[in-house]
C-alpha cells in the first residue's frame, strides 16, 4: 500500500444498501479483515434479525465485533471504539488491512472523533442505577433527562431509552451532566485515520430492498430466533431486543400482533431508520468520501473502490473535524 497504508478502509451506507456484498470480495482483494460497525450484531443469538454474516461468509474473511454480549447487556459507541482500536492493532500486526463495515454512524464517529475519557463510576452502583432506570417508562426517563442534562435532552430522547439511561447515569454518578464531559474532558484516544466509501442508491430501490429483507427475515426464521431468545431468559425490554424486528416478532409470539401487521411495522420502521442513516451520512461524514453507486454490478463496485484506494490522494486520512462531506464521483 502507499499513502493509505496507515488508514483503515470504512464502508458505510443505509440498511440493505449492499455493504456486506461489497465488503467480502473487497477484503479478499485487499487482504483485509472486517470490523462490524453494527450496534445490533454485537448481540449473541441475534442473527436473522440483524442480517449478520453467515458462518460461510466468516470463513471467507475474518470478522470482528460480532457476538460480543448477551441481549440484556448494553454496548455503547465508546466501548466499540475501545474494542475496535484493539482489533485494528491486531489486524495491522498481522500485516493486513482493517476494514470498518456497517451502518451505525455513531460507532464510526467514536473512532474518527473519540469521545471523552469516561470518569470512574462505581460498577456496583452503576448496575443498581441502571436496573432502577430500566424500570422507568420512557416518558419519565425523558422528564429526568430534561431536568439533569437539558443541553443533551433532544439527542438523548432521539436515541431512545438506552441513550437516555446513559445520559442519566453519568449525571447521577459523576455529579456533572454528560454534555459537560463531552465539552471539557480530554478524548480517550487519538482519532483513527480512515478513508470512507459510502454506498448510495435511489430511495425507491432502497425501499424495495428493505421491504424484501424484512419479509425474508420472517420467512427465514425470525420468529423461531426470538422464541429461543425469550425462552433463554431475554425479555422484550432488554437493550438488544429493542431493535427493529425483535420487538415486533416478540409481539407476535405474545399474541399482541398478527404476523402480517408485524412485517408491515418492521418495513415501516426500517425505512424510517434508513432515512435517518442517510441524513447522518450526508452531514456527519468528513471530506474525501467516495460516493459509490450501489446499483453498479458487484464486480464494478469492487473495481471502482480498488482504483480509488490505490490512488492514495494527498491528505487521504479522514477526520471528523468538518461536518459536510466533499463528494468524489466514481470514475
Confidence band, pLDDT 50/70/90 cuts, at residue 55: very high
Closest alpha carbon to 277 in 95, 142, 103, 33:
103
Whether residue 19 has pLDDT greater than 50: yes
For 81-92, the pLDDT digits (tens) are 999 999 999 999
C-alpha cell at 151: 443541553
- Distance of alpha carbon 142 from alpha carbon 168, whole angstroms: 10
Whether residue 252 has pLDDT greater than 90: yes
Closest alpha carbon to 220 in 38, 56, 43, 51:
51
Query: Higher pLDDT residue, 212 or 122?
Result: 212
Answer for the pair 101, 198: CB distance below 8 angstroms, yes or no.
no
Structural domains in the chain, CATH included, are: 3-114+189-203+278-328 (3.40.50.300), 123-184 (1.10.20.140)
**Residue 60 burial (10 A CB sphere; 0-12, 13-18, 19+):** middle
What percentage of the chain has pLDDT greater than the value 70? 92
C-alpha cell at 275: 432515512
The pLDDT value recorded for residue 211 is 98
Closest alpha carbon to 42 in 77, 89, 90, 14:
77
3-class state of residue 43 by DSSP:
strand
Contact residues for 107 (Cβ-Cβ < 8 A; gap 6+): 37, 38, 39, 77, 80, 81, 84
Answer for the pair 222, 119: CB distance below 8 angstroms, yes or no.
no
3-class state of residue 162 by DSSP:
helix
Extract long-range pairs of 153-161: CB within 8 Å, 24+ residues apart.
Answer: 160/242, 161/134, 161/242
3-class state of residue 70 by DSSP:
coil
Confidence band, pLDDT 50/70/90 cuts, at residue 318: very low
CB neighbourhood size of 170 (10 A): 25
pTM of the full structure: 0.79
Question: Phi, psi (5° rounding) for residue 320?
Answer: -90, 25
3-class state of residue 80 by DSSP:
helix
Amino acid at each position: 500500500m502507499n499513502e493509505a497504508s496507515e488508514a483503515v478502509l470504512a464502508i458505510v451506507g443505509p440498511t440493505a444498501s449492499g455493504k456486506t456484498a461489497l465488503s467480502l470480495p473487497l477484503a479478499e482483494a485487499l487482504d483485509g479483515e472486517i470490523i462490524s460497525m453494527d450496534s445490533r450484531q454485537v448481540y449473541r443469538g441475534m442473527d436473522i434479525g440483524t442480517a449478520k454474516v453467515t458462518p460461510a461468509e466468516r470463513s471467507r474473511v475474518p470478522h470482528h465485533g460480532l457476538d460480543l454480549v448477551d441481549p440484556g447487556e448494553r454496548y455503547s459507541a465508546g466501548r466499540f471504539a475501545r474494542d475496535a482500536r484493539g482489533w485494528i492493532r491486531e489486524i495491522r500486526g498481522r500485516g493486513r488491512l482493517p476494514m470498518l463495515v456497517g451502518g451505525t454512524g455513531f460507532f464510526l464517529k467514536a473512532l474518527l472523533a473519540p469521545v471523552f475519557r469516561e470518569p470512574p463510576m462505581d460498577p456496583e452502583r452503576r448496575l443498581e442505577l441502571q436496573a432502577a432506570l430500566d424500570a422507568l417508562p420512557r416518558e419519565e426517563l425523558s422528564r429526568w433527562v430534561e431536568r439533569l442534562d437539558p443541553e443533551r435532552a433532544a439527542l438523548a430522547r432521539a436515541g431512545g431509552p438506552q441513550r437516555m439511561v446513559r445520559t442519566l447515569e453519568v449525571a447521577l454518578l459523576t455529579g456533572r451532566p454528560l454534555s459537560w464531559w463531552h465539552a471539557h474532558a480530554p478524548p480517550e484516544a487519538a482519532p483513527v485515520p480512515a478513508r470512507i466509501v459510502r454506498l448510495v442508491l435511489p430511495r425507491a430501490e432502497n425501499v424495495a430492498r428493505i421491504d424484501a429483507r424484512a419479509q425474508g427475515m420472517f420467512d427465514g426464521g425470525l420468529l423461531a430466533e426470538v422464541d429461543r431468545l425469550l425462552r433463554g431468559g431475554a425479555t422484550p425490554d432488554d437493550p438488544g431486543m429493542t431493535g427493529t424486528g425483535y420487538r415486533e416478532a416478540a409481539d407476535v409470539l405474545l399474541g399482541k400482533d398478527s404476523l402480517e401487521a408485524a412485517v408491515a411495522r418492521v418495513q415501516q420502521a426500517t425505512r424510517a431508520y434508513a432515512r435517518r442513516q442517510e441524513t447522518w451520512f450526508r452531514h456527519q461524514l468528513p471530506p474525501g468520501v467516495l460516493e459509490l453507486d450501489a446499483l453498479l454490478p458487484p464486480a464494478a463496485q469492487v473495481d471502482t473502490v480498488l482504483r480509488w484506494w490505490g490512488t492514495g490522494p494527498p491528505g487521504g486520512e479522514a477526520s471528523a473535524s468538518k461536518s459536510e462531506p466533499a463528494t468524489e464521483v466514481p470514475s
